Structures are given as C-alpha cells and as structure tokens.
C-alpha cells in the first residue's frame, strides 16, 4: 500500500462556540477544566486543535479562572485528519488490562503519525492490535489513546489508554505531576555531585526551531533530579527523575551541565571515542495510578542491550 493511500488530507475547518458559564455563585474554575467538563473538547486535544478562549472579547489563558455567568467565546482549528491503515507490528507489551496498555517502545519507533512519518508508527501498530481503539477515539485519530510520548530515538516505557475516560484519568496525573518517571542515560563527562538537581526554564531556541535551550526566566519551568550510578574517566551512567515533562527536557538539561547525552545527534557532537552510538536515553520506570485503582503501580522497561554493550566497552578501556 502506498503512502498516498495511507495518508489522505481532509479540509481544515475553523470552528467557534459560545458558552455561558454555569457554576455555583461563590465558585470559580480554571477555564480549561470548565471547557472539558462542559463537553466542548478534552484537554488532551487543546494543543492539536490550537484552541483560543476569549472572555469579553479579550483572549485569556487556559489557566485563568472563570465564574458563573461569564460568557466565553471558544475558537479552534480542527487539525488535518489522516486516514491511515492499521499496521501489524511486534509490540513489546509489558502489561495490559481493560483500560491501558504498557509497552516497551524500541528505539527508532515514532509514537504517532506526523510530518515525514506517515506509516510504521506506534499508533498504527496499536490500531491493528486493538481493533476497537479507533472507534473509541474517532475525534482524535492522530493520537488515539496516547497519554504521553517519547522521542523517536528514546527507547523504553510508555503507557497508552484504551478509552477516553482512561486517557483523561492518566493524562490528569501527568498534568498534575503526580506520576513518577525515571530514565537512564549515558552522558559525556561527569556531573558535579553524586546526586543533584537541574532547575531552569526551558524555551525554544530562536536560532533553530527544532531545538530548545535553558533560560533563567523565559519559557517553562523544568526540574530534573539525577543520581550517578557509575562513572568512568570521561563518561557516566546516570538515573534521572523527571519532575516536569518539557519537550527535550533531559537532553537540554544535561547539555546545560556540559554533559550531553551520548548519541544525541541534535544536541551533541559525535564522540570520537565511543563512536557511532545511538541516543543513549531510556525511559526506565513509571509510577502511576491506573484507572479505577487507588494505589500507585510501578512498571519497568528492561535496560536495552545497547546500554549493556556500551558499559562493557567502557569497562574494558
């Protein structure tokens, strides 16, 4: 089947809706939560639909609180909707129940379709594996059940939802930062302390729109905690805990410490000693409360072979 038959563009429509807030007189609620509760759109769709909200014809942030009888004008652009076929692929499923699938994503697999990646994505594999998934997410065909994503060259643990209710329950934990997310990384250099934290703002690099950079005041707040597990003369194996989930956060934070991740083709130069290694970043562990449960569960993706091979090489030097 050709790429053209897998990927068909539909017309983009600008849509608007006006709603009158209905809340108890003494109560207020964040506008993003109110829109979701009112059934206009799920919060997981806000970014892809480029939603804008106006109060008294003035655009407001989604974090602003609204009160009873406020009149909101909501505008959004429905994204290009792809019409693509499910694809059979080998999925490394670590856990599954009626609400979620927990997978070990291999390095090189793109999570969802997008520019330049029209087939062979995790989403298409999930659509083949779970025949009802597309029916449950007809209004979000690009990311059906996708709670969070990993970069193409980051391997490891990822959790996906089977139903919209499960998606919202999981997504809320990521938004509220109540999940526990641990990564492993091989870095060039040595961090200043055995344990520590990197706390900055992260903003897009105006010189290269594909990249991000740290900033003292501009951008989004980001916090990464680290622990050095092993170190060699010029390299270290570290464990990282993400307290926030910004795009490229780990890669940018470690670069800011002078310790880029080995194999990072975007943020680091090729290392002449270890050679052509691929990105040495792995989503290792996740703690999260599953829908319908009250206690946090912990999942772990096995350490990939490329980590074991590099460690063995460094031990022999």
Between CA 140 and CA 146, with CA 145 as vertex, the angle to 5 degrees is 95
Task: Note if 151 is an active site residue.
Answer: yes
Nearest to 306 by CA among 122, 158, 182, 154: 154
Scanning 122-279, the segments in alpha helix (DSSP H) are: 122-129, 133-136, 164-175, 249-256
Identify whether the C-beta of residue 298 lies closer than 8 Å to the C-beta of residue 286.
yes
Phi, psi for residue 122 in degrees, rounded to 5 = -60, -40
- How remote is the C-alpha of 312 from its chain's centroid? 31
Q: Alpha helices of 152-304 — where are they, by DSSP H?
A: 164-175, 249-256
Catalytic residue from among 139, 151, 264, 276: 151
Q: Distances in Å between the alpha carbon of 283 and those of 109, 110, 246, 250?
A: 14, 14, 14, 11
Quick one: tokens of 276?
């052509």
Residues catalogued as catalytic: 151
């Amino acid at each position: 089947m050709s790429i053209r038959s897998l990927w068909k563009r539909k017309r983009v429509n600008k849509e608007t809706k006006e709603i009158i807030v209905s809340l108890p007189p003494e109560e207020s609620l964040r506008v993003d939560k109110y829109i979701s509760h009112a059934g206009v759109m799920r919060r997981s769709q806000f970014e892809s639909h480029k939603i804008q909200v106006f109060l008294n014809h003035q655009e407001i942030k989604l974090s602003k609180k609204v009160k009873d009888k406020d009149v909101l004008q909501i505008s959004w652009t429905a994204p290009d909707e792809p019409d693509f076929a499910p694809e059979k692929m080998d999925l490394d499923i670590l856990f599954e129940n009626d609400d979620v699938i927990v997978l070990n994503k291999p390095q090189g697999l793109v999570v969802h379709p997008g520019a330049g990646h029209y087939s062979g994505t995790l989403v298409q594999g999930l659509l083949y594996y779970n025949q009802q998934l597309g029916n449950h997410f007809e209004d979000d065909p690009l990311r059906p059940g996708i709670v969070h994503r990993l970069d193409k060259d980051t391997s490891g643990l990822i959790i996906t939802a089977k139903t919209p209710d499960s998606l919202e329950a999981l997504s809320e934990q990521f938004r509220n930062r109540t999940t526990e997310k641990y990564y492993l990384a091989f870095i060039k250099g040595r961090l200043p302390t055995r344990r520590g934290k990197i706390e900055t703002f992260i903003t897009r690099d105006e010189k290269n729109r594909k990249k991000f950079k740290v900033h003292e005041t501009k951008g989004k707040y980001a916090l990464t905690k680290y622990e050095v597990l092993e170190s060699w003369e010029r390299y270290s194996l570290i464990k990282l805990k993400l307290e926030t989930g910004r795009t490229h956060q780990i890669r940018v934070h470690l670069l800011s410490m002078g310790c880029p991740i080995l194999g990072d083709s975007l943020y680091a130069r090729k290392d002449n000693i270890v050679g052509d290694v691929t990105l040495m970043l792995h989503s290792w562990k996740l703690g999260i409360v599953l829908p319908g449960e009250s206690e946090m569960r912990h999942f772990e993706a096995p350490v990939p072979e490329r980590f074991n091979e590099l460690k063995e090489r460094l031990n022999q030097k």
